[in-house]
């Protein structure tokens, strides 16, 4: 079966890493075009060296390229504000959009949680790096028992946070929090991001806390471990940093104040500590925050492209 051609909009770190993954790893997708706005960006220069068609005129330039008609999937690795404009320009052309920004115009998609139910959508959102790392854990817990409250902290190296990430901090926390509820199925949720300036740069770390009621803790642990293995299937550097922890929460615990009184009473705090090491296809291994986004997006793009091809067959 012939591969589906894709375009990547955004020639920064995320877009360039995704391009390398498409070229090296995918048996379903092939590069059709690399799109940027700076002709001297490393991403566009690298694409030209690799024989990929390029434009430095953004999405309008993509629409004018002869390669555009053959494009099946467009990955947007720009910014939340830019994606809103790009989506409007691309909407009349019937392309599948995979949004790697926090714009969230389409439904949130996390491959191990809800990809199958959205495999026929035309515009899907990859949430955030913190969301891709932590939502699977919250979803795993909620599959066993209701999650009254979920709180996640994503700590990434400052050097792996480019201008797009820094400009979207507010969108990161809002989008991740909402996705923890919508996709992770937490009753309430909060997301925090920390840009760590340590030298040498530290690998991405994610902490997940879930408040739950009386539950089978062995079943919760088993479900989390299975989910970690599932995510590691497409993000090899995704792993537990230490054992899963359970802490009893008593009636006088301040954690009770975080839960809607109408919801189930919390009895346990489940804490999961994760590390995400990048595959270093383009960026250093410490940039796991970028690697998990591009790895997840690649998996989503492959499934959506396959579904579109099957529907047209």
Structural element, H or E, at residue 1: none
- DSSP secondary structure code for residue 68 in this structure: G
Count Cβ neighbours within 10 Å for each residue of 85-109 and write b for 16 or more, e otherwise: ebbeebeeeebbbbbbbbbbbbebb
Exposed/middle/buried for residue 276 (C-beta within 10 Å: 0-12, 13-18, 19+): buried
Q: Structure tokens of 237?
A: 């550097």
Cis amide leading into 298 (omega within 30): no
Rounded Cα distance between 14 and 75, Å, is: 10
Give the annotated binding-site residues for NAD(+). 11-14, 160-168, 289
**Count of CA atoms in the C-beta half-sphere (13 A) of 165:** 23
The dihedral of CA 172, 175, 177, 180: what is its sign? negative
Rounded Cα distance between 45 and 280, Å, is: 19
- DSSP secondary structure code for residue 203 in this structure: P
- Neighbour count for residue 131 (Cβ, 10 Å): 31
CB 259 within 8 A of CB 293: no
CB 182 within 8 A of CB 143: no
Query: Is 267 noted as a catalytic residue in this protein?
Result: no
Provide the 3-class DSSP secondary structure of residue 291: helix
Rounded Cα distance between 243 and 57, Å, is: 49
Give the annotated binding-site residues. 11-14, 160-168, 289
Instruction: Give the active site residues.
Output: 129
């Amino acid at each position: 079966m012939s591969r589906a051609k894709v375009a990547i909009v955004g020639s920064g770190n995320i877009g360039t890493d995704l391009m390398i993954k498409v070229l090296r790893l995918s048996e379903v997708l092939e590069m059709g075009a690399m799109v940027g706005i700076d002709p001297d960006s490393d991403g566009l220069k690298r694409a030209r060296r690799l024989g990929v068609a390029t434009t430095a005129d953004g999405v309008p330039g993509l629409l004018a390229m002869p390669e555009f008609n053959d494009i099946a999937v467009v990955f947007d690795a720009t910014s939340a504000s830019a994606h809103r404009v790009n989506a409007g320009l691309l909407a009349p052309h019937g392309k599948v959009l995979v949004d790697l920004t926090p714009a969230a115009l389409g439904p949130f998609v996390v491959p191990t949680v809800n990809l199958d139910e959205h495999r026929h959508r035309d515009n899907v959102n990859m949430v955030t790096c913190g969301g891709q790392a932590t939502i699977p854990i919250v979803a795993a817990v909620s599959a066993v028992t209701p999650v009254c409250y979920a709180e996640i902290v994503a700590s990434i190296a400052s050097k792996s946070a480019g201008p797009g990430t820094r400009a979207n901090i507010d969108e990161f926390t809002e989008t991740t929090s909402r996705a923890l509820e919508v996709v992770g199925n937490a009753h309430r949720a909060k997301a925090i991001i920390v840009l760590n300036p340590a030298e040498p740069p530290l690998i991405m770390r994610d902490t997940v806390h879930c408040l739950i009621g009386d539950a089978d803790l062995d079943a919760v642990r088993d479900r989390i471990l299975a989910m970690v293995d599932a995510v590691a299937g497409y993000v090899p550097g995704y792993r537990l940093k230490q054992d899963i922890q359970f802490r009893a929460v008593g009636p006088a615990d301040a954690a009770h104040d975080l839960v809607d009184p109408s919801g189930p009473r919390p009895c346990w705090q489940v804490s999961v500590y994760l590390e995400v090491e990048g595959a270093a296809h383009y960026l250093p291994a410490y940039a796991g925050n970028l690697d998990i986004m591009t790895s997840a997006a690649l998996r989503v793009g492959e499934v959506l492209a396959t579904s579109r091809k099957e529907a047209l067959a």
